[in-house]
Amino acid sequence: IVTLPLGILISFIIMRWIGVNANIMSLGGIAIAIGAMVDAAIVMIENMHKHLERAQTNVSRWDVVLESTKQVGPSLFFSLLIITFSFLHIFALEQQEGRLFKPLAYTKTFAMAGAALLSITLVPVVRSALHDDPHDRDRCW
């Protein structure tokens, strides 16, 4: 859940920095990117959860999270970058088409790049910090 608002915030900060207006097309780029942004965080969290459930009691939680992040992190990062690169050809458009679609491509690119970075850096740390001990079943519902 953290990657969605932070990825969008990163997109808006970069939009402001390079002078892209927040119009219907630029906001449409963020809307297109939301699905992939959420998917990356879900895949990372599910993999960590699976590893934490299977972990031995004597293994550090941070070691398990690091191992699960190493397992799916590169794949998630590069899959988001490939999706990001799929919109780069829009920057070659000129005249009216370029003015219409470039804001969409900018915001989608920024949001996806932010999600790629957040899904392999912030998500594992937050998940590990907020995770309860899976071996303590007395507190389960």
Give, for all 141 residues of the chain, the pLDDT tens digit: 677 888 888 888 988 998 888 888 888 888 888 888 888 888 888 888 888 888 777 788 788 888 888 899 888 888 888 888 888 888 888 888 888 888 888 888 888 888 888 888 888 888 777 766 555 444 444
Domain contains 17: yes
Identify the sign of the CA torsion 89, 91, 97, 103: positive
CATH value at residue 91: 1.20.1640.10
Q: Which residues contact 121 (CB under 8 A, 6 or more apart)?
A: none
Total domain count, the chain:
1
Domain contains 136: no
Burial class (CB in 10 A: 0-12, 13-18, 19+), 108: buried
Identify the sign of the CA torsion 16, 79, 40, 127: negative
Output the pLDDT for position 131: 65
Domain contains 101: yes
Domain contains 139: no
Output the pLDDT for position 17: 94
Output the pLDDT for position 139: 46
Domain contains 141: no
Domain contains 91: yes
> pTM of the full predicted structure?
0.74
Domain assignment of residue 56, given as a range? 3-129
